[in-house]
């Protein structure tokens, strides 16, 4: 059973008198453990796709099956619960809460778990996720005290802390320099390989898309190409640095 199954998905926005057909019939299946890079220029519909895949928005038409369940017509709160349990987000701008420690940032999704987790367990799981990202000694630092790469690793820890089946990364390297970008991609590849987590990456950079196992190109609201890819390895990068050296 595919993790994600889109069936003739359409999304129409009404902007005043104009209607914008952001998605014009997208169908695709993503299996567990795939690392799918969705590329396309701005206005191609990739952001809309990302919002629907992330259960932040609902399609106008068609169906979206997440882990076999149709989530196309769920209520706001039902979608919130799906996001909480099954999806981890990694944003371009990190979106860490300022003046809040890394551990507390990672705890945010756990705050909305149902049933409610006790504070001690929230803290333990946050620290565990930070440890997996190699940030144990930064757990009680505020984002302003962390480098860009560290901040993005905190954001990845936050995405992983509730053990989702799907990681949605929206331009995760947009604010990072090349070396740090490569480091983040390596982390995502590792998650896929070691934990079999399905990853959907939205990017407009072909270099970054090249780290996926499958590249889907979107334009004008439809899929124009969908090809398997031999993922680019970090070791292929001449300028790649070992993890410890990446700030």
Partner 1 sequence: MFAMLPVNLKLAVRSLNRNRLRTLLTMLGIIIGVAAVLTMVALGTGARASVEGEVGSAGTNIIFVRAGNYTRGGDAVGIVSGRGAATTLVAGDADAIRAGVSGIKALSPGVALRTFIASGSSRAFTRVQGIDSGFAAIYSWNMSAGRMLDSAAAAPEAVLGANLAATLFGADTDPLGQMIQVRDSAYRVVGVSDGQAEDHADVLFVPWQTLQKSLGQNHLDTITLAAEKAGESSRIASDITNLLRERHGITGTPSAGYLAGQGGVGGVPDDFTVETQAAQALTKGLYTPAAAFALANLPKLDEVTLEEMADTLDRASDTMTALLASIAGVSLIVGGIGIMNIMLVSITERTREIGLRMAAGARSGDVALQFLIEAVTLSMVGGLVGLVLGLVSAQLIGWSLGWPTTVSLGAMALAIGIAASVGLVFGSYPARRAAQLDPIEALRTE
Using CB under 8 A, list all residues that contact partner 1: 51, 54, 56-57, 76-77, 80-81, 83-85, 89, 91, 95, 97, 99-100, 108-109, 111-113, 116, 119, 158, 162
Cβ of residue 76: shortest distance to partner 1, in angstroms? Answer: 6
The answer to whether 20 and 12 are in contact (CB under 8 A) is: yes
Cβ of residue 235: shortest distance to partner 1, in angstroms? Answer: 33
Cβ of residue 49: shortest distance to partner 1, in angstroms? Answer: 12
Cβ of residue 21: shortest distance to partner 1, in angstroms? Answer: 18
Cβ of residue 43: shortest distance to partner 1, in angstroms? Answer: 15
Cβ of residue 39: shortest distance to partner 1, in angstroms? Answer: 20
Nearer to partner 1, 68 or 115 (CB): 115
Nearer to partner 1, 99 or 194 (CB): 99
Nearer to partner 1, 175 or 229 (CB): 175
Q: What is the DSSP string of the chain?
A: --SEEEEEEEEEEEETTEEEEEEEEEEEEE-TT-EEEEE--TTSSHHHHHHHHTTSS--SEEEEEETTEE-TT--HHHHHHHHHHHEEEE-TT--PPTTS-HHHHHHHHHHT-SSPPPHHHHHHHHHHHHHHTT-GGGTT--GGGS-HHHHHHHHHHHHHTT--SEEEEESTTTTS-HHHHHHHHHHHHHHHHHH--EEEEEES-HHHHTTSSEEEEEETTEEEEEEE--PPPGGG-TT---GGG--
Backbone phi and psi for residue 145, each to the nearest 5 degrees, phi listed first: -95, 5
Nearer to partner 1, 54 or 59 (CB): 54
Nearer to partner 1, 189 or 198 (CB): 198
Nearer to partner 1, 119 or 124 (CB): 119
């Amino acid at each position: 059973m595919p993790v994600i199954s889109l069936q003739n998905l359409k999304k129409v926005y009404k902007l005043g008198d104009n209607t914008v057909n952001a998605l014009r019939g997208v169908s695709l299946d993503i299996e567990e453990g795939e690392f799918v890079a969705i590329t396309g220029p701005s206005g191609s519909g990739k952001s809309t796709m990302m919002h629907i895949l992330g259960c932040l928005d609902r399609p106008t038409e068609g169906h979206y099956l997440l882990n076999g369940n149709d989530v196309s017509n769920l209520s706001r709160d039902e979608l919130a619960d799906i996001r909480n349990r099954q999806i981890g987000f990694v944003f371009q701008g990190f979106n860490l809460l300022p003046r809040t420690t890394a551990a507390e940032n990672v705890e945010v999704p756990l705050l909305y778990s149902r049933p409610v987790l006790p504070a001690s367990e929230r803290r333990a799981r946050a620290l565990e996720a930070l440890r997996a990202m190699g940030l144990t000694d930064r757990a009680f630092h505020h984002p302003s005290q962390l480098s860009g790469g560290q901040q993005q690793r905190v954001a990845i820890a936050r995405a992983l802390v509730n053990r989702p089946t799907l990681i949605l990364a929206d331009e995760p390297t947009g604010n990072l320099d090349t070396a740090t970008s490569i480091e983040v991609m390596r982390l995502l590849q590792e998650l896929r390989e070691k934990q079999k987590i399905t990853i959907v990456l939205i990017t407009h950079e072909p270099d970054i898309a090249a780290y996926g196992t499958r590249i889907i190109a979107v334009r004008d609201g439809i899929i124009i190409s969908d090809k398997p890819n031999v993922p680019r390895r970090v070791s292929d990068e001449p300028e790649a640095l070992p993890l410890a050296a990446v700030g």
